[in-house]
Amino acid sequence: MPAFLTDLNPGWLLILAGLAAMFIKIRSVRQAITIITPVVAILLLATTQHGVDHLTYNALGIELSFYRVDSLNFIFGLAFLIASLLNAIYALHTDNRLQDGMALAYAGAAVSATFAGDLMTLFIFWEITAISSVFLILQAGTRAAYFASMRYLGVQILSGVLLLDGIAYVWHYTGSLSLEAFTSLDQPGALIIFIAFGIKAAFPFLHNWLQDSYPKSSVVGAVILSAFTTKLAVYAFARFFPGFNELIWIGAVMTIFPVFFAVIENDLRRVLAYSLNNQVGFMICAIGVGVAGVGNPLALNGAAAHAFVHIIYKALLFMSIGAVLYRTGTAKASELGGLYRSMPWTAVFCIIGGLSISAFPFFSGFIAKSLTMSAVAAEGAANPAMIVVWLMLLFASAGVLEHSGIKIPYFAFFGHDSGKRVKEAPFNMLLAMGMAAFLCIAVGLPALVPGLGYQWLYGLLPYPIEAAAYQPFTLDHILTQMQLLILAVFAFILLKRLMLYPAEKPGVILDTDWLYRKVGYGAFRWVDTVWSKIGPATAAIATRLASRAYDNMVATFSPRGMLSRNVFSGGMTLWTAVILGLVLLVSYLTS
């Protein structure tokens, strides 16, 4: 392959193809571009030399590195490119130039940011992900989607502004914008960058943009959005903040709180959005446990593996519910049920996604999540506090089975019969779901053939795992996970039989965004109302005071004012002479 191609950042290729796709009116040509481009990009990535700056440029004394591949960002970039291919196939039934183009540009920006070799390049593509992704929400064409997209854009731009602010501090104090420019949260700028990453990762109290925007986006848009933004933030934390203890507890809390919201939520796409918070929490916690290059790198490998498989099975779940929404016009659990009769393949693929996210043995989630759980358990031997973290992750693992492994397939395809009889999903949707389901199974299987099964994924991880040092398919791992899953299934069945499981009914679930969307807005309206009553009177008083002050100034300083009168001018002349004489006398006496 020519050198100029192997040196080309594959993300740039996606961005250029996306921009071109927006202007191509011939549907078949445009869709061929959206499919061929990710395939070419994967080939480019596979042939790129690692650990080398392939594209560099010096601007205003700043050394920019646009393309650097190493063992950490390779697995994230590969997952992003696979997701881009699946998304393109899933969207073939649509004819939307803007959506096709922005989907490629969004994926390309995420890939370009992942392979950035300096902080400024990271910032540039960090912002492009925000700008390009907002169009995927707007393509829903509803009033709710419009307002959600504006809130989403505001939050994402805030993340970018904070990132740029932190980068400015790093540049000022270190004179460098390299990826190794800071190593401590105590360093100026590092905390600001930490918060910028936390917004995009949807940390607790910063997470509501996700549940607000993803469920309101288009059918295809939600699938695309689920793959890139939060996982780009996970990569950023793995790159810059591995081993930071703060991330352990932040991640553990992230795994817990979405469970309660997801169980009572009626909108199944919002359930998946909360589930996304839960899964990212596992990755963040693992990054906090892991220390790059020191001791056992099991936790960081767990974060990378979890991000890879999560991109696939989360896309599969969003695809299946998107297909239901496309055929029935709703994703509300209270309005669905019995669809396995008319959408059997979609139901099967949804179940596979549910088994994967629930970490059933022989599915992709199991071989990824077991890395994190084993790493946290190993830390518990030396740090008793880690036992609490391990128990929190264990609870969250059972919770994700309840809301994603059971609730979504049950209420969408089984449960009470809604009476809806619709067509099966379009072939292209089934093809994309089938490819994702195949990956969920193939990656999770034991290595019956060397290099295949879970060993293929383990071979891509940032730090080598010796087969003798770690094996996911041990009796202890399998029994622990199966006991947890069986108890979770039993609890669901028991609660349903006793009619104690939260009923699926229309309504709005209040989250922490209530504080600024209701209380904050109410305070603004109160201030506006009060000002409308006292404002005119206050303005009249201020006008009279200003007018009086002006008149006094005119009376004093104008040509006809007090200071221009002859007698006063003569008096001032006399006093000036007296003061000048005193100054001269003092100067003479002190000389």
Answer yes or no: is pLDDT of 43 > 60. yes
Answer yes or no: is pLDDT of 571 > 70. no
Are 176 and 255 members of one domain? Answer: no
pLDDT tens, residue by residue, 261-285: 888 888 999 999 999 999 999 999 9
The pLDDT of 94-119, averaged and rounded, is: 94
Query: Could you tell me if residue 195 is inside a domain?
Result: no
d(CA 410, CA 406): 6
Are 490 and 433 members of one domain? Answer: yes
Residue 103's pLDDT band, with cuts at 50, 70 and 90, is very high
- Please tell me the predicted confidence (pLDDT) of residue 553: 67
The pLDDT of 575-585, averaged and rounded, is: 70
Report the domain count for the chain. 4
Are 149 and 246 members of one domain? Answer: no
- Please tell me the predicted confidence (pLDDT) of residue 187: 80
Segment of 128-137, 390-399, 476-485 carrying the highest mean pLDDT: 128-137
DSSP conformational letter for 405: I
Helix residue ranges, H only, 241-359? 245-264, 268-289, 298-328, 344-357
Are 268 and 363 members of one domain? Answer: yes
Are 403 and 471 members of one domain? Answer: yes
pLDDT tens, residue by residue, 386-417: 899 999 998 898 888 888 888 899 999 988 88
Are 473 and 576 members of one domain? Answer: no
56 membership: H or E segment, kind and range: strand 53-59
Query: Could you tell me if residue 194 is inside a domain?
Result: no
What is the average pLDDT score of the chain? Answer: 86
Are 318 and 466 members of one domain? Answer: yes
- Please tell me the predicted confidence (pLDDT) of residue 293: 41
Which of 15-29, 229-243, 525-539 has the lowest average pLDDT? 525-539
63 membership: H or E segment, kind and range: strand 62-68
Query: Could you tell me if residue 189 is inside a domain?
Result: no
CB-based burial, 520-553: b 16+ in 10 Å, e otherwise? eeeeeeeeeeeeeeeeeeeeeeeeeeeeeeeeee
Cβ contact 275:357 at 8 Å: yes
| Contact residues for 197 (Cβ-Cβ < 8 A; gap 6+) | 159, 163, 233, 236, 237, 240, 241
Cβ contact 197:237 at 8 Å: yes
What is the extent of the structural domain holding 405? Answer: 242-503
Query: Could you tell me if residue 197 is inside a domain?
Result: no
Query: Is 480 exposed, middle or buried (CB count within 10 Å of its CB: 0-12, 13-18, 19+)?
Result: middle
User: Tokens 């549910």 belong to which residue?
Assistant: 354
Query: Could you tell me if residue 196 is inside a domain?
Result: no
pLDDT tens, residue by residue, 512-555: 766 766 676 677 677 767 767 786 777 778 788 877 776 776 66
Query: Could you tell me if residue 285 is inside a domain?
Result: yes
Query: Could you tell me if residue 279 is inside a domain?
Result: yes
Cβ contact 262:407 at 8 Å: yes
* Strand, coil or helix: 217: coil
Answer yes or no: is pLDDT of 585 > 90. no
**Of 494 and 68, which is predicted with more confidence?**
68
Are 498 and 524 members of one domain? Answer: no
Are 548 and 449 members of one domain? Answer: no
pLDDT tens, residue by residue, 465-475: 765 567 888 88
Answer yes or no: is pLDDT of 253 > 60. yes
Are 178 and 260 members of one domain? Answer: no
Are 230 and 251 members of one domain? Answer: no
Percent with pLDDT over 90 in the chain: 53
Are 470 and 590 members of one domain? Answer: no
Token couple for 587: 């100067």
d(CA 438, CA 190): 41
Segment of 212-221, 492-501, 578-587 carrying the highest mean pLDDT: 212-221
Answer yes or no: is pLDDT of 35 > 80. yes
